[in-house]
Amino acid sequence: MGDLLSELLAPLRLRGVFHSRWTARGPWGVAGERESCALLHYVQEGRCVVELPGAGPVRLGAGELAVFPHGAAHRLADAPGRATVPLESVLPEREPGSVRTVSIDGPGEPTVMLCGGLHYDAAAAAPLYRALPQVLVLDRPAVAREPLLADLLGRLAADWDTTEAGRQDAGLEIVALRAFELVFVLALRAAMASLGEGEPVLRALRHPAVGAALLAVQTRFAEPWTVESLAAEAGMSRSAFAAAFRELVGEAPMRHLTARRMQEAARLLAGTALPHSGIARRVGYGSTVGFHLAFKQWHGFTPGEYRRRGV
């Protein structure tokens, strides 16, 4: 699973980070809508509760971390069921690259948190990333088992005064960006290692045959794969492989392959000046016309429109 997990997470390059430090004294509660970025909450002192629609409360204590890979809507409070105010009323603007401090007064014990909105290139996220749970939680022992992650979180929290006060030396913003990026990837790796066996994404990664096919799609997507050749790569019959892949990944093998190719095509269109014919070859299409048709059907834009719009 290690090689495949590395391949899935390696392309997640952050484009920008908004981060804030919260000091909140109970009673308090904040409700945030879904964000178009990943989110994290790291509790430095005290405790809080995370509530997602349709799920039970998740309690976080000092030294614990919650990661929301898809920016899921959630409530954050000092206790379950607490009345909340909209996040917009507390943090009305959260532009990548900016830093803010939030203080909520009350008679209760304080909770101190480091929070971040992590803006990554959606075109670079592997298709299987969509299968990650709404929230991944690392308790204190899990964080402690990852010395680099624990050290980075501690340093980000300790360096807050310098960053927040605006004493940003040249290059400090990119340093913070890469530090949060490393926290994000390390946290995802650690959290996925502790997921229950029933989680679909973990079952897919750990399945020896489906995992082999996923690794092939992730790293060798330009090859002329068919269901039969992917099944052979997995060491299974065609029908058994197709059924197992659909059950564990949630979509047919060829659709997953197309998603990976379209992901790479979008990345190349946005980040390079390669001609469309060159991109078509790089993502496994022998015909530029076929590539154009597939790209428009998948993304809703032609490759040229996608590049011009900077989607």
Per-domain residue ranges of the chain: 2-193, 207-309
Residue 197: the pLDDT is 60
> Average model confidence (pLDDT) for the chain?
88
CATH class assigned to 2-193: mainly beta
Q: Which CATH architecture has domain 207-309?
A: Orthogonal Bundle (1.10)
- Rounded CA gap, 134 and 149, in Å? 21
Chain centre to alpha carbon of residue 202: 15
- Rounded CA gap, 81 and 63, in Å? 23
- Rounded CA gap, 183 and 149, in Å? 6
Chain centre to alpha carbon of residue 59: 21
pLDDT 10s digits, 175-233? 788 889 899 989 988 887 776 666 667 788 888 999 999 999 989 999 999 999 999 99
- Rounded CA gap, 254 and 230, in Å? 9
pLDDT 10s digits, 29-58? 999 999 999 999 999 999 999 999 988 999
On the question of pLDDT at 162 being above 60, the answer is no
Residue 99: the pLDDT is 87
Percent of the chain with pLDDT over 90: 63
Asked whether the domain spanning 207-309 has the same topology as the one spanning 2-193, the reply is no
Summarize the confidence of residues 284-304 as an average pLDDT: 95
Is the pLDDT higher at 168 or at 310? 310
On the question of pLDDT at 167 being above 60, the answer is no
Summarize the confidence of residues 56-81 as an average pLDDT: 95
Identify the burial level of 92 via C-beta atoms within 10 angstroms of its C-beta, where 0-12 means exposed, 13-18 middle and 19 or more buried. Answer: exposed
On the question of pLDDT at 165 being above 70, the answer is no
Structure tokens at 265: 């095509």
Query: What is the H or E stretch that residue 175 is in?
Result: helix 172-193
Total-model pTM: 0.82
Query: What is the H or E stretch that residue 278 is in?
Result: helix 276-282
Residue 2: the pLDDT is 53
